[in-house]
Amino acid sequence: MKVRKIATEEAWSIPEVAAELKKVSNGPSQSLDKLLVRGIYDQEGGGARYAGVNFLDGLLDAEGMRLKQMDELGIDMHLLALTAPGVQMFDADTAMELAILSNDILSDLCRKYPLRFASLASFAPHSPKRAAKEMERAINELGMNGFMINSHTYDEYLDDPKFWPILEAAEALDRCIYIHPRAASYGFKGPLQDYGMDSAMWGYGMEVGTHAVRMMAGGVFDAFPKLKICIGHMGEAVPFWLWRLNFMNTRSQKAGRSRKTKRSMAEYFQDNFVITNSGVEDNLALRYAIDKLGIDNVMWAIDYPYQPMKPSVDFIDNFPCTDSERHALCHGNAERIFHIAPLAD
């Protein structure tokens, strides 16, 4: 029997954001993100080729090649979001303006194709109060499904109380925040700038893993116990570290080096996080994640266009699991966590 397939970390963009990122790529920013941004958006000479692939065409397309491939491969839905680094390299006003524009365009697309596309809303984290307002609009007026943030904003992380209006809004709206990677913050730059380590090979996972640990160690989930955070790439290696995180955090807390929290790292990760397998097609890693976190906490994702659709579909179709596990991975958890209407029987 065919299983409904909702892919949960699928990248998308609009020409207005692409144009602004092209400006960034020629501007003074010292961010590690410039390596990727220049490759994708600065197309002088025709056709961006970052790592040999034209990602920009895939990002700007929804109704053309993307939908055609989804049809051919039996992918029911993409959960779309503005691609990394989102609006977070722009000044706060430009960021807010482009987040609003992209939320408007993306929610229109989802209304046009309610069974094919769902969406995560963008906002400008550097304007936390205005961000919270846009978050409310995105859910209550635009009918979007959750939120996307691309890790740090100008090298600052969500454990910083200045961002807490954002976390408060997400908790009050009962919507998950997906923390997607962008290149690591400035302090990590040195050893990550060689060998292609700045982006998806290593830097992205380290950046978001660090973000998740900062939030747990920083007491964010004592302040917002119902907050749900989603992280991709098989949980950015955090599931594999839970035992040691617990052991060492307890030791650091006893020594007064780490903040006292109400619960353990493993408990926060279990109750406040969900993960996707985006960009990781490894049976053993997925089995470990399911057994460690519980089947309710793991979702299927492709990471299109950065990863091709077909191998990801083949991977999840052939992953050794029960029917009920496959249903949870492929759509059940996504429907619950991102408020996507289940199909009628």
Using rule CB under 6 A, residue 306 touches ligand VNL:
yes
Smallest distance, Å, CB 81 to ligand VNL?
10
Say whether residue 199 binds ligand VNL (CB under 6 A): yes
The closest of 141, 130, 138, 185 to 163, measured between CA atoms, is 130
Q: Is 303 in the site for ligand VNL (CB under 6 A)?
A: yes
Q: Does residue 305 have a cis peptide bond before it, meaning omega lies within 30 degrees of 0?
A: yes
Q: How far is the CB of 232 from ligand VNL (least distance, A)?
A: 8
- Residues 288-307 as x/- pattern, contact with Mn ion by CB under 5 A: ---------------x----
200 forms part of the interface with ligand VNL (CB under 6 A): yes
Q: How far is the CB of 200 from ligand VNL (least distance, A)?
A: 4
Question: Which runs of E-coded beta strand occur in the chain?
Answer: 6-12, 77-82, 117-121, 146-149, 177-179, 229-231, 273-276, 298-299
Contact 199, 147 (CB under 8 A): no
Residue with nearest beta carbon to ligand VNL: 306
- Region label for 153, one of left (φ > 0), alpha (ψ between -120 and 50) or beta (otherwise): beta
Q: Count CB-CB contacts under 10 A for residue 324.
A: 10
Site mask for Mn ion (CB under 5 A), range 239-268, x = bound:
------------------------------
Count, residues near ligand VNL per rule CB under 6 A? 9
Of 70, 84, 328, 337, the one binding ligand VNL by CB under 6 A:
84
Q: Give the tokens for residue 343.
A: 């199909």
Considering the complex, state which of residue 177 and residue 200 has its C-beta at the smaller distance from ligand VNL: 200
Q: With CB under 5 A as the rule, give the number of residues binding Mn ion.
A: 2
Q: Does 11 bind ligand VNL (CB under 6 A)?
A: yes
- Closest to Mn ion by CB, 9 vs 281, is 9
Which residue's structure tokens are 């907050």?
227
H/E stretch holding 246 reads helix 238-254
Applying CB under 5 A, does 20 fall inside the site for Mn ion? no
Q: Are 10 and 301 in contact (CB under 8 A)?
A: yes
Q: How far is the CB of 80 from Mn ion (least distance, A)?
A: 11
Beta bridge pairs of residue 229: 177, 273
Measured from the CB atom, the residue of 84 and 167 that comes closer to ligand VNL is: 84
Distance set, CA 156 to CA 10, 112, 134, 305 (Å): 25, 36, 20, 28
* Residue 149 binding ligand VNL, by CB under 6 A: no
If one asks whether residue 36 binds ligand VNL (CB under 6 A), the answer comes out as yes
In the bound state with Mn ion, the residue whose beta carbon lies nearer, of 134 and 303, is 303
Q: Which residues are 146's β-sheet partners?
A: 120
Determine if 83 is a binding residue for ligand VNL (CB under 6 A): yes
207 binds Mn ion per the rule CB under 5 A: no
CA angle 286-53-236, nearest 5°?
25
Q: Contact, 300 vs 330, CB < 8 A? A: yes
Q: What is the contact surface with Mn ion in residues (CB under 5 A)?
A: 9, 303
Q: What is the contact surface with ligand VNL in residues (CB under 6 A)?
A: 11, 36, 83-84, 199-200, 279, 303, 306
